[in-house]
Every structure is written in C-alpha cells, then in structure tokens.
Amino acid sequence: MILCITHSNDFYNIDLFFDYLKSKNIPYFRLNSDHLNDFQKISINEDSFELIDEFGNILHSKDIKAVWHRKSWRITVPEDLDEDYEKIFLKEYGSLRYNLFTVLEDLSWINPYEQETKVDGNKMYQLKIAQKFNLTIPKTLFSNDEEKILTFFKEHCKGKAVAKLHGVITKSMNGENFLSTTIIDENNLEHIADIAYCPMIFQPYIEKEYELRIVYVAGEFFTGKINNSENADWRVVQGNFMWSEYDLPKEIKANLTSMMKEMMLYLGAIDMIKAKDGKYYFLEVNPQGEWGMLQKELHFPIAQRIADNLIKRIK
C-alpha cells in the first residue's frame, strides 16, 4: 500500500495519482492531514499506529510500504471548541500528527519528511545550495531591519526591488488569498518601517524575458514557460498568458540535479527566471509545489512519474 498524505480539498493532481495506482493494481490510502483531529481515531505506540479515518476506513502502519507527502494543511479545529483550548488542541494534535509521520520514517518517501521540512522552511539554505552548484541567484536579504533594507535597496536594487514572505498564506491550487510577490520602488519605501511587524525577503527586481516552473522528479524534468515579463509573479497573471513546453539547457539541468540530490529531494517545483541579461536565475524550490497546470495544459505525465518512483523504491 502507498500512503498519500494530503488535505480534504485536494483534487486533480491527487486523482491522477490514484487513477494511475489503480491501473497498476497498487493499493493506496488517502490521509487528509487537516482531518488528523477529532474526526479520526488514532493510536500510536513506539513502532506502529492504527488509524480510523473520518469515513471509517482503517489504516495499519504495517500495511504501508511507501509514502507521498503531497501536502499538509492546518489541522481543523472543531467549531464547538472553547477558544481557550484552541492552542492546546492544535499543539497536541500537531504533535500526534508528527509522531504518526515519524513512525514511517524508514519507508520510501517522496520526499523524506524531515529533509523536506528543512528545505521548505529555509529559503536561505536553498539559495546557498543552489549557489554551491553554480546556479545564478539574486542578491538576497531576509530582514526586519529598516535601515539594512534601505541600504540593500540603495546598493543592489537600482531603484526597484521585490519583497515576499518566506512562506505563503495558502497552499491551495487556485491561489485564493495568496499573498504574491510585491514590487518595491522609491514611491513605497516610506512604508518600509512596518517591516518590524513582518520580516520579508528582499531581492533586486530582475528584468525578465519569461518565468519557468520546473518540476523535477528523480532526475527527470518537466518544464513550463509562461510568457509573463511584466508581472512580479506568474501566480497573479491574468489575461492572454499561457504555458508552453520548454527545454532547459543541459548545464542548468545538471546543476539542478546536483542541487536536488544534495537536498535529498526526489520531487520539487522549481521557479526560475530567464532574464533579459541572458542568465537563468534560481529563485526557489517548493517540495510540495503545484504542477497540475503543467500536466493539464502540456500533458506532462508528472503524477505517473511520482507513482513510478515510489513503486520502484518499495522495499
């Protein structure tokens, strides 16, 4: 059995994955991370667990042979729970979820849970490893210090920068409530003092030809190009923009492969920019990043390759 850890609103990508497993007669179990709460009955000991999900399906850890950690969402809090108990509810169910996941740590995962958490939670680590393997990265500052940010803007940004949160507001496919990359120029620097309440990542604005969303699956690349040069982030693109298939240069593929191996990731959605100066700039890799639009519009077999990799690695 392959366990897929996802969330209750997940669709399309996960359906493609399950359909492919069905065609191979591989059993699977869908575990909704946001419902790992009072909706489910969970018992864990030192080396195993048993779970009854919200639909009455029973899962024994001994039956699981591989894991895809597709996405984890915030645990749902019961509507009738007293607000005074919400913090402890989330803390203890979060601990329960973590303990459940780590019971399975010796199995084959996409990606190894602890390593994925490290990479996803540390953009500066990502940039360090990317640079180690000869990928071009933008000059970057992660700060809450107004003076340091103003100095960075003056010395490196030529009058225009981008600011973005380290994390995202939502991980939904449709991007609702998503806080996108913000363009900073001389006109809105006056509000930078508010940074004390929310540290952000700052980089020089890169004049680009287009953006690339690159899905890496164990050495194989599925790359989409979006003809977006005027927006700071393709996620907020509206209008006559479309994805097209793109062939990365061999050197970029080799460098990305080395980076992903160093990070110990089998899967990742990589964002890069092809700039007007001719360089390819690495921005970030999201181990749980979205790729459904590439499979839908460009017919890339990404879900199938993820499944194939797990099937091949089952111990």
Q: What's the pLDDT tens digit per position in 102-116?
A: 999 999 999 999 999
CB 220 within 8 A of CB 305: yes
> Tell me, what's the pLDDT at 156?
97
Topology of 139-205 in CATH?
Dna Ligase; domain 1 (3.30.1490)
> Tell me, what's the pLDDT at 242?
87
Instruction: Name the CATH superfamily housing domain 111-137+206-300.
Output: ATP-grasp fold, B domain (3.30.470.20)
For residue 236, pLDDT over 50 is answered with yes
Q: For the stretch 235-269, what's the b/e string if a residue is b when 16 or more beta carbons lie within 10 angstroms of its beta carbon?
A: bebeeeeebeebebeeebbebbbbbbeebebbbbb
Q: What is the pLDDT of residues 14-65, one digit of tens each?
A: 999 999 999 999 999 999 999 999 999 999 999 999 999 999 999 999 999 9
Tell me how far apart the alpha carbons of residues 65 and 259 are, in angstroms, rounded to a whole number.
27
Q: What is the pLDDT of residues 263-300, one digit of tens each?
A: 999 999 999 999 999 999 999 999 999 999 999 999 99
CB 195 within 8 A of CB 202: no
> Tell me, what's the pLDDT at 230?
59
Q: Which is more confidently placed, 296 or 235?
A: 296
Q: 196: which 2 tokens?
A: 């004390």
For residue 234, pLDDT over 90 is answered with no
Q: How confident is the model at residue 70 (pLDDT cuts 50, 70, 90)?
A: very high
Q: How confident is the model at residue 232 (pLDDT cuts 50, 70, 90)?
A: low
Q: Give the pairing type, strands 182-185 and 2-6.
A: unpaired
Q: How confident is the model at residue 4 (pLDDT cuts 50, 70, 90)?
A: very high
Domain ranges of the chain: 2-106, 111-137+206-300, 139-205
Pick the closest to residue 139 from 258, 81, 131 (CA basis): 131
| Unique residue bearing structure tokens 């779970």 | 51
CB atoms within 10 A of CB 104: 20
For residue 233, pLDDT over 70 is answered with no
The residues, ordered by sequence, that sit 6+ positions from 35 with a Cβ below 8 Å of its Cβ are 8, 53, 54, 75, 76
Pick the closest to residue 11 from 295, 230, 280, 281 (CA basis): 295
111-137+206-300 against 139-205: fold identical = no
